[in-house]
Structure 1
């Protein structure tokens, strides 16, 4: 298989437009895992309308790429695609998307879990809640 692992990192202030998985694949991957991170209606015990994401984009993209390279050594996969929103993201809308192509499912699931954990703890992306209007 070699180290032919493709990493794509995108950050956008537009709603996520993810191309559907194009099948059939080449046969190298036995699993494709997708993860959508969505904005919940509650944040810190308060009802919200949206989350506002800010990032130091150049550093965030570099760190996401470095984390991906590190994790792909631990969990060999063929391809990792990441797309993260910046700016306001309404409740119910996705703020982050991952798609991982792997020979076996276990590496893809483990990579997804660890990647999201590292994204949340290590990458300069900050979220602040935009509170929902009070109901009378």
Structure 2
């Protein structure tokens, strides 16, 4: 990602939680509806269900996936875990012990929700074309 327009601080904090989300943000970005619950509950193991739910909700909130789910604020982990009926969100430490799990979950989320990486073709071209048309 070219980040020539971002300050050093912004580059350093990109894709990270700056602070604990407030109640309005939790309700807006971290609420799991029936479609989300159906998607998440098809995963094996509570730690994988919690992990993929946190990847999904983090992508909604930050606009990108997070590499280390343990960097997600405790309030978010508890909020999402409660919706899944998981009493101890500490099980998240078992999530993605296999590196491929995280990448597979990213791909599943992109496919199921229609998310795209705008750094990849043809999405990069489409985004540039859209921005060009709007700018001129």
The normalised TM-score by structure 1 is 0.33
* Higher RCO (CA 8 Å, separation ≥ 6 residues): 1
Greater strand fraction, Structure 1 or Structure 2: 1
Greater helix fraction, Structure 1 or Structure 2: 2
